[in-house]
Chains A and B, each alone.
Chain A
Amino acid sequence: MSFSNSLELLAFHNVAYSIYAALILSVIAWFGYNLTRKKKAKSMVRIPFYTYIGFLVAMGVGHHIFTYNTIPWVSQDITRHNIKPDATYRFEVGDHKWINMPKKVTVQCGQTIEFDVRSRDLVYGFGLFRQDGSMVMQMQVNPGTDVNGILDPNDILWTFRHNGVFDVMSTEYSGPEAYDENGNSVMLVRKWLEVVGCKDEGGKK
């Protein structure tokens, strides 16, 4: 089992969490009902205390083991400084404007791209979004410089496995000047990145 993009991951998450939510609400409702009954309900299953604790520990730890093994960007993110990207796009952001950002980026299917965004003033975000508004990925863009006055990097590696045309937008609030008088984001760049060359179901042709 593996999730190749956020759509697959979040669809799975949506189903799994909805089932869990229905389950926990049902258990509490069943519990509440049986608390008031004069005829004492017989336990359907007897869960020993330490089994319950073990279950919680397994869920807490198992969740991370599961995502590490099924979400490809986790290990890539941790080891990103040892991976050579197919292309790097380095640009800056300041005064609510993207600075030296390429007008448009085209990526071949399966390419691993490094985005290095540096802030001149405030905390911003860097996020890619599909045309339906769903998120591809994001990172925070913190300001700061090293001792030589060079802006601190905020870098992320991303491998694109599905065709698509993506908008770029700041995912962090940086003050009301990030919007025009009509409430539109001035940091939204439509159709900034396009991925080509993938099969319909994802992956290289």
Chain B
Amino acid sequence: MSFMNNLVNGTDFDHTSLNALQKVTLRAVVMSFLFFGLVAIEGMIMRMVQVGPSAPIPEMFSHAEHYFSIMTVHPIVGIFGSTYQLVFAAFMFLVPYLTKKPLYSVKLANAVWLLITIGTAMAWIAAFVWQYAPLYTLYWPLPADTKQFQVIGGIVFIVGVALIMVGTLGFIYNIYATIFARVGVHKDKTTKELLISGFGIDGMLNLWHKLRGKPPYTKEPALALPVVAIFRGTVDTFLDAIVILSAGILVLVYLVFDASGHPLNVGAIDALLYKNYFWWGLDLVADGLVLIYVAGSWYLLATLITGQKLFMENVARAALMLELLVSWMVWSHHLLADQGQPEMMKLISGEMVTAFELLTQGLALFITLVTLWKARPLKMTPQLAYLLGGLSGFGLAVPAAIIQADMGMNRVLHNTQWIIFAHVHIALIVGLYMTLYSAVYVLWPLVTNNTTLFSKKLTWAHFWLYLIGGIGMGAFAGMAGLDGMLRRHLYVHGEFNTLMVLAAICGTMVLVAWFLFLFNIVMSVGLKGLIGIFLPAKDKTASYGIEPEIAVGES
């Protein structure tokens, strides 16, 4: 097949054969990877600025307004535009697939990816056009500082973020409505049974009964373990959406009053209290949502790759319940450098409870590895390789954070590049995304009706470039943090030149890897197929792998 033919028609992809659930899944996946490209380019621009005057990059990027505008939208595009979309897409497909029930509403699923896409685009436009740059932390009163930022930029940005959160609430509703729908295999289950299973309480009760020598509380839990993780992580997604939405409304009120000529007193809001509230919510993204969703994804991938039951399933279920308590109580590790923060909160929430994440994530790592180990020999497929890459990412990133969540270490590491690269970037780029790539390759035959991938060599080239580039960038930039390089500061003289050059080389590997991945996918589905994904599905089925059923919300 010629190159042009492949580019236009793909391998053997037929978008007309896809049902409504498959199409809505793929739409969000496409948007997610487009935003990933944007975020990788943004990241590379910042890397190049930090290299210094020798970097081949236009001078305008070194202006503070421009540089911090990019830094402001970088996490919005990366976390919401890309990661949220990909995770939501996977879960809106997996929940119906695993529960053998139709998705509650395909229309709502379409609204979710559209709202998140439009919201992300608006936030990006606000930064690009009006250079609104309070950073994602939105430390009060900076987002309402109209001496530095134009009101219109702030309003567009906040409305954009609010749309993302409304889309997130739509996802949550869809997931819970699907889980609690008493149809199919859950026809005879009560809401109480589904709730007990969703929170992992049945796993805990099974362990308790075992300790007391009694028969198990339940031999067949109402919900499969990955669904429990999705259920549980979605609790944090909900709380996080409420916190970000309410903080956005607060900023919006101040901006609107300012625009009307009657500015409100920003001093009426306690900056430290606001920081506590905002970090409590924001931290649920990292310590609740990501870690729990990732643990659930590992369990699912391990069982699908091996075809065997998960090792210590009851412990895994109980650990998800434990993580519920842990993730709500760890936000103070972001406030260890705030001298007004009570010492007890620093000690208990910031240090001790945070350290429990070593336990919960270590447990998930252990269970996944043993499940794989018991099934050996296994073939080293891309699915397995990416899963191992994801495990490595969290194996590196979680201890990097626990080290800094300490009053002694934080005093000399807070706000340096250590936390944002050795922890955040390795956790997201390597840990989370490699897990998601594994899921993409596992789900690929299901959502594309067994479309042949264009090139396996490109898949492996992507894997190695991405793994080495991701870890390398995190490591070199993290080392710059140990040398005192701040994370939210503009360096234009190449102050940390050597490490920044190395980080930029590794960042380029990640960017090239993304391009190879995208090329491989486009050559597999073809441009016609790519457009076809966004055309209405003829088959309105909202489920996969069971008798065709349309969405409950649309019936």
Contacts and interface: CB of A to CB of B under 8 A. Distances in A.
Interface of A: 6, 9-10, 13-14, 17, 20-21, 24-25, 28, 31-32, 34-38, 40, 49, 52-53, 56-57, 59-61, 63-64, 67-68, 70-71, 73-74, 77-78, 121-123, 125, 127, 129-130, 132-140, 142-145, 152-156, 169, 171-179, 181-185
Interface stretch (B32-40, B246-254, B375-383): B375-383
Contact of A17 (B62, B400, B408, B483): B400
Contacts of B402: 60, 63
A154 B396 contact: no
B64 interface: yes
A32 B388 contact: yes
A129 to B, nearest CB: 6
Nearest to B131: A176
A52 B372 CA distance: 18
A2 B384 CA distance: 44
Contacts of A130: 484
Given A35-B376, A138-B337, A138-B414, A60 B495 contact: no
B359 A56 contact: yes
B399 interface: yes
Nearest to B148: A175
Interface of B: 62-65, 67-68, 131, 133-135, 139-142, 145, 147-149, 267, 270-272, 275, 312, 335, 337-340, 343, 351-352, 355-356, 358-359, 362-363, 366, 369, 372-373, 376-380, 384-385, 388, 391-392, 395-396, 399-400, 402-403, 406-409, 411-416, 422, 471, 475, 479, 482-486, 488-490, 492, 495-496
A59 B378 CA distance: 32
Contacts of A140: 335, 337-339, 414
Contacts, number: 215
A183 B270 contact: no
A53 B360 CA distance: 10
A136 B384 CA distance: 44
Contacts of A77: 407, 411
Contact of B352 (A61, A127, A137): A61
Given A125-B415, A143-B267, A172-B139, 5 more contacts: A36-B378, A169-B489, A176-B148, A183-B490, A185-B489
B385 A143 contact: no
A129 B485 CA distance: 10
A73 B407 CA distance: 9
A67 B340 CA distance: 22
A36 B83 CA distance: 31
29 contacts: A10-B412, A24-B395, A31-B369, A32-B388, A35-B372, A37-B377, A53-B359, A60-B358, A61-B352, A63-B402, A64-B352, A64-B406, A70-B408, A77-B407, A122-B141, A123-B139, A129-B484, A133-B484, A138-B337, A139-B338, A139-B339, A139-B411, A142-B338, A145-B267, A172-B139, A173-B142, A175-B68, A179-B64, A181-B63
